[in-house]
Structure 1
């Protein structure tokens, strides 16, 4: 079974259409893409709760 980060990376590459990483750089790219997506989701949830608290 493939790692979760590899699946997320592959889905992101196919879904968004970004350029594939160079051979040997796939693992680092998968970690970077996964971390960026998780940070974006956490930021959106944080903003939601911040706005919810202010209203």
Structure 2
């Protein structure tokens, strides 16, 4: 079974169409992509909560 980061990375590569990482760099790329996506979602949720509180 693949790791969650590998599945997220593979889905992002296929979905967005970015270039595949170099051989030997797949694990590092998977962690970077997963971290970036999680951070983006957290920022979006934080902004939503902030704006909701301002109403």
TM range (shorter): over 0.9
Q: CA RMSD in A?
A: 0.1
Q: How many residues are paired up?
A: 55
Unaligned runs of 5+ in 2: none
Runs of 4 or more above 2 Å deviation: none
TM-score by length of 2: 1.00
Match of 2:32 in 1: 32
TM-score by length of 1: 1.00
Unaligned runs of 5+ in 1: none
Match of 1:18 in 2: 18
